[in-house]
Protein backbone atom coordinates (compact mmCIF):
# COMPACT_ATOMS: atom_id res chain seq x y z
CA UNK A 1 0.00 0.00 0.00
CA UNK A 2 2.97 2.30 -0.50
CA UNK A 3 1.11 4.17 -3.24
CA UNK A 4 -1.20 5.82 -0.68
CA UNK A 5 1.74 8.00 0.36
CA UNK A 6 2.25 9.20 -3.21
CA UNK A 7 -1.35 10.04 -4.01
CA UNK A 8 -2.79 13.48 -3.35
CA UNK A 9 -4.58 13.43 -0.03
CA UNK A 10 -7.85 14.67 -1.52
CA UNK A 11 -7.81 11.92 -4.17
CA UNK A 12 -7.66 9.01 -1.72
CA UNK A 13 -10.57 6.61 -1.53
CA UNK A 14 -12.01 5.72 1.86
CA UNK A 15 -10.11 2.45 1.91
CA UNK A 16 -6.84 4.14 0.94
CA UNK A 17 -7.42 6.84 3.56
CA UNK A 18 -7.91 4.10 6.17
CA UNK A 19 -4.58 2.48 5.18
CA UNK A 20 -2.84 5.84 5.23
CA UNK A 21 -4.12 6.64 8.72
CA UNK A 22 -3.24 3.11 9.84
CA UNK A 23 0.39 3.59 8.84
CA UNK A 24 0.65 7.17 10.04
CA UNK A 25 -0.61 6.16 13.50
CA UNK A 26 2.32 3.77 13.82
CA UNK A 27 5.01 6.43 13.41
CA UNK A 28 5.00 10.08 14.37
CA UNK A 29 8.12 10.60 12.23
CA UNK A 30 6.31 9.20 9.20
CA UNK A 31 3.33 11.44 9.95
CA UNK A 32 5.57 14.52 10.00
CA UNK A 33 7.20 13.47 6.72
CA UNK A 34 3.82 12.98 5.09
CA UNK A 35 2.64 16.39 6.29
CA UNK A 36 5.79 17.98 4.86
CA UNK A 37 5.20 16.24 1.56
CA UNK A 38 1.65 17.58 1.45
CA UNK A 39 2.85 21.08 2.43
CA UNK A 40 5.38 21.04 -0.40
CA UNK A 41 2.74 19.85 -2.86
CA UNK A 42 0.42 22.64 -1.77
CA UNK A 43 3.20 25.24 -2.16
CA UNK A 44 4.09 23.93 -5.61
CA UNK A 45 0.48 23.92 -6.85
CA UNK A 46 -0.08 27.46 -5.61
CA UNK A 47 3.20 28.60 -7.17
CA UNK A 48 2.35 26.95 -10.47
CA UNK A 49 -1.15 28.45 -10.50
CA UNK A 50 -0.03 31.99 -9.71
CA UNK A 51 2.90 31.83 -12.14
CA UNK A 52 4.89 34.99 -12.84
CA UNK A 53 2.24 37.32 -11.41
CA UNK A 54 2.98 36.85 -7.72
CA UNK A 55 6.64 35.87 -7.24
CA UNK A 56 7.04 37.64 -3.89
CA UNK A 57 4.20 35.59 -2.42
CA UNK A 58 5.67 32.38 -3.86
CA UNK A 59 9.06 33.17 -2.32
CA UNK A 60 7.48 34.04 1.02
CA UNK A 61 5.60 30.72 1.06
CA UNK A 62 8.81 28.91 0.16
CA UNK A 63 10.57 30.46 3.16
CA UNK A 64 7.63 29.42 5.33
CA UNK A 65 8.08 25.89 4.02
CA UNK A 66 11.81 26.05 4.87
CA UNK A 67 10.92 27.05 8.43
CA UNK A 68 8.34 24.25 8.66
CA UNK A 69 10.93 21.70 7.59
CA UNK A 70 13.59 23.02 9.96
CA UNK A 71 11.25 22.79 12.96
CA UNK A 72 9.95 19.33 12.00
CA UNK A 73 13.11 17.38 12.75
CA UNK A 74 12.76 15.18 9.65
CA UNK A 75 16.37 14.86 8.55
CA UNK A 76 15.64 13.76 4.98
CA UNK A 77 13.59 16.87 4.30
CA UNK A 78 16.23 19.08 5.90
CA UNK A 79 18.76 17.76 3.40
CA UNK A 80 16.38 18.46 0.55
CA UNK A 81 16.00 22.05 1.77
CA UNK A 82 19.73 22.63 1.32
CA UNK A 83 19.32 21.52 -2.32
CA UNK A 84 16.37 23.87 -2.69
CA UNK A 85 18.39 26.74 -1.29
CA UNK A 86 21.29 26.00 -3.65
CA UNK A 87 18.95 26.04 -6.65
CA UNK A 88 16.44 28.60 -5.40
CA UNK A 89 17.18 31.15 -8.10
CA UNK A 90 16.57 28.60 -10.85
CA UNK A 91 13.44 27.29 -9.12
CA UNK A 92 11.97 30.77 -8.85
CA UNK A 93 12.91 31.50 -12.46
CA UNK A 94 10.97 28.43 -13.55
CA UNK A 95 7.82 30.05 -12.17
CA UNK A 96 8.72 33.51 -13.48
CA UNK A 97 9.44 32.53 -17.07
CA UNK A 98 7.49 29.26 -17.39
CA UNK A 99 10.38 27.63 -19.23
CA UNK A 100 11.45 24.02 -18.97
CA UNK A 101 13.78 21.61 -20.67
CA UNK A 102 11.19 18.93 -21.44
CA UNK A 103 11.65 19.21 -25.19
CA UNK A 104 15.42 18.75 -25.00
CA UNK A 105 15.03 15.86 -22.55
CA UNK A 106 12.66 14.19 -24.99
CA UNK A 107 15.18 14.49 -27.83
CA UNK A 108 17.92 13.10 -25.57
CA UNK A 109 15.71 10.16 -24.60
CA UNK A 110 14.88 9.33 -28.22
CA UNK A 111 18.56 9.61 -29.19
CA UNK A 112 19.52 7.18 -26.42
CA UNK A 113 16.91 4.70 -27.66
CA UNK A 114 18.35 4.93 -31.19
CA UNK A 115 21.84 4.43 -29.75
CA UNK A 116 20.74 1.30 -27.89
CA UNK A 117 19.21 -0.11 -31.06
CA UNK A 118 22.10 0.90 -33.35
CA UNK A 119 24.15 -2.27 -33.08
CA UNK A 120 24.95 -2.36 -36.82
CA UNK A 121 26.36 1.13 -37.24
CA UNK A 122 30.11 0.99 -37.70
CA UNK A 123 30.51 4.52 -38.96
CA UNK A 124 29.70 7.46 -36.73
CA UNK A 125 28.62 9.68 -39.63
CA UNK A 126 25.85 7.24 -40.58
CA UNK A 127 24.76 6.96 -36.96
CA UNK A 128 24.65 10.76 -36.76
CA UNK A 129 22.57 10.93 -39.94
CA UNK A 130 20.14 8.37 -38.55
CA UNK A 131 19.65 10.50 -35.43
CA UNK A 132 19.24 13.70 -37.45
CA UNK A 133 16.79 12.02 -39.81
CA UNK A 134 14.78 10.66 -36.89
CA UNK A 135 14.51 14.14 -35.41
CA UNK A 136 13.48 15.46 -38.84
CA UNK A 137 16.51 17.55 -39.66
CA UNK A 138 16.34 16.73 -43.35
CA UNK A 139 18.42 19.65 -44.65
CA UNK A 140 21.73 18.22 -43.52
CA UNK A 141 23.39 18.48 -46.97
CA UNK A 142 25.21 15.19 -46.63
CA UNK A 143 24.88 12.38 -49.12
CA UNK A 144 24.58 8.92 -47.62
CA UNK A 145 26.37 6.33 -49.77
Average pLDDT along the chain, 145 residues, taken 10 residues at a time: 88 93 94 94 91 88 95 92 91 81 86 82 83 73 56
Q: Is 112 found in the same domain as 80?
A: no
How far are the Cα atoms of 4, 81, 117, 122, 124 from residue 30, in angstroms, in the given order?
Answer: 13, 18, 43, 53, 52
- Report the domain count for the chain: 2
Same domain, 83 and 108: no
At a CB cut-off of 8 Å and minimum separation 6, what does 62 contact? 43, 47, 84, 88, 91, 92
Judge if 39 and 88 occupy the same domain.
yes
Q: Which domain holds residue 75?
A: 31-97
**11 located within any domain:** no
Establish if 1 belongs to a structural domain. no
Q: What does the pLDDT read at residue 122?
A: 82
Shared domain for 87 and 120, answered yes or no, is no
- Of 67, 65, 71, 68, nearest in space to 91 by CA: 65
Looking from the CA of 15 toward its CB, the CA atoms found within 13 Å total: 2
Amino acid sequence: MRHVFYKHNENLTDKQRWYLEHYLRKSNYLRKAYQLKEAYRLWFEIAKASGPTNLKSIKKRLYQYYDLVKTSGVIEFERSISTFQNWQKQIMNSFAFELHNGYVEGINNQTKVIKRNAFGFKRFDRFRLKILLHHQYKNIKVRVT
